[in-house]
Amino acid sequence: MTAPSSTTTSHAVDAYTAAQQAQDAAVGHSSRTFRVWRGANGEGDFRDYTTEAMDGMVVLDALHQIQAEQAPDLALRWNCKAGKCGSCSAEINGKPKLMCMTRLDELPADEPVSVEPMRTFPHVRDLVTDVSWNFRVKPNITRFTPRAPDAPDGTWRVDQRDVDRVQEFRKCIECFLCQDVCHVLRDHHKHDEFIGPRFLVYAAALEMHPLDVADRTTQLKEAHGIGYCNITKCCTKVCPEGITITDNAIIPLKERVADQHFDPLRALVRLVRGKKKPG
């Protein structure tokens, strides 16, 4: 087999470049202004940057472009650019969103796009916040506690439909947008008394698991402050994974807490049957 001559290669590259240029020319270009929060440690203000936007661009692309061309010191957190790592959470036009999943053509073209950091967490710099509080909360939730194995070989038998119920909660990518929008944390700063929607989903995944036998209801009521949730459903609205946080996780947990702590009839039934946690 002979290698292609340099003339053939050059023609191929030219054809490729020409095709690329034709493709680029076919893509719509427009100028967009971004109003980006700049500052550190809670202090700062919005600064306007105008940049070239192309069809299909997302907010994260535009910010990278601004970072490359105008503001090399702009701090922002990102990783996968595919809506799966949960790193690029921010507030775009006032709504908590993933920057990598927010297309520019979804946003009004006639006004600047505002981008600011999440307000629930301590501000570090520009669009970066310190979300480490979340990682300190998680270990305080009673761990998965499986029942004794069903078979002598140490395995369990579980109905797929029972697993499906908690599978929804496992889609969480820990972007913490639900924590950001929750007014109990965002406006009332109850970080010491309330674990927030993300960890109520986590607790629901454990509490409703068909193998789990631990009872977290007292913990949810007392230490985790589930009573602070007033069911605004904002967490459900911002979840990029579409988890029905309020209806499928928080309200069922509230009902379980009501069973244990606020329902005299249930208490009577438990007393008669002598059963702690229903299967």
Partner 1 sequence: MTQPVVQLRRRGFGETMRRDAWWLPPLGVFVVLSSFLAYATWAAFQNANYEYGNYLSPFYSPLLFGPPPHGWFARAPRWLASISPALLILPFPAGFRFTCYYYRGAYYKAFWADPPSCSVGEPRKGYLGERTLPLVLQNVHRYFLYFALLFLLVLAHDAWEGYHFADAAGGMRFGIGVGSLVLTTNVVLLGGYTLGCHSLRHLVGGYLDRLAGRPARRTAYDCVSCLNRGHMNWAWASLFWVAFTDVYVRMCAMGVWHDWRIL
Contact range with partner 1 by CB under 8 A, out of 6-14, 52-60, 68-76, 123-131: 123-131
- Choice from 71, 85, 101, 124 touching partner 1 (CB under 8 A): 124
Residue-wise burial string across 58-92, b where 16 or more C-beta atoms lie within 10 A, e elsewhere: bbbbbbbbbbeeeeeebebbbeebebebbbbbbbb
Site of tokens 């993300």: 198
Contact range with partner 1 by CB under 8 A, out of 25-33, 49-57, 78-86, 94-102: 94-102
CA distances in angstroms from 106 to 101, 110, 236, 279, listed in the order given: 10, 12, 20, 46
| 273 in contact with partner 1 (CB under 8 A) | no
- Choice from 52, 69, 111, 150 touching partner 1 (CB under 8 A): 111
| 101 in contact with partner 1 (CB under 8 A) | no
Binding mask 6-45 for partner 1 (x = CB under 8 A): ----------------------------------xxxx--
| 130 in contact with partner 1 (CB under 8 A) | yes
| 75 in contact with partner 1 (CB under 8 A) | no
Interior angle at CA 232, CA 226 and CA 235, nearest 5: 80
Sequence-distant (6+) residues with CB within 8 A of 139 are none
| 251 in contact with partner 1 (CB under 8 A) | yes
What is the closest distance, in whole angstroms, from the C-beta atom of residue 20 to partner 1 in the complex?
A: 36
Query: What token pair was written down for 116?
Result: 């600011």
Tell me the Ramachandran region of residue 81: left when phi exceeds 0, alpha when psi lies from -120 to 50, beta otherwise.
Answer: left
Computed from CA positions of residues 221, 225, 228, 233, in that sequence, does the dihedral angle turn out positive or negative? negative
Query: What token pair was written down for 249?
Result: 């996780």
Phi then psi for 203, rounded to 5 degrees? -65, -40
Query: What token pair was written down for 109?
Result: 């073209």
> Measured from the CB atom, is 88 or 239 closer to partner 1?
239
> Measured from the CB atom, is 61 or 180 closer to partner 1?
180
- Choice from 101, 228, 241, 270 touching partner 1 (CB under 8 A): 228
> Measured from the CB atom, is 87 or 120 closer to partner 1?
120
Binding mask 142-161 for partner 1 (x = CB under 8 A): ----------------xx-x
- Measured between alpha carbons, how far is 44 from 35 in angstroms, rounded to an integer? 13
- Measured between alpha carbons, how far is 76 from 67 in angstroms, rounded to an integer? 9
> Measured from the CB atom, is 3 or 161 closer to partner 1?
161
| Beta partners for residue 118, in sequence order | none
Q: Which residues bind partner 1 (CB under 8 A)?
A: 40-43, 91, 93-96, 108, 111, 114, 116-117, 119-124, 130, 158-159, 161-162, 180-181, 183-184, 186-190, 207-210, 212, 225, 227-234, 237-238, 246-247, 251-252, 254-256, 258-259, 262-263, 278-279
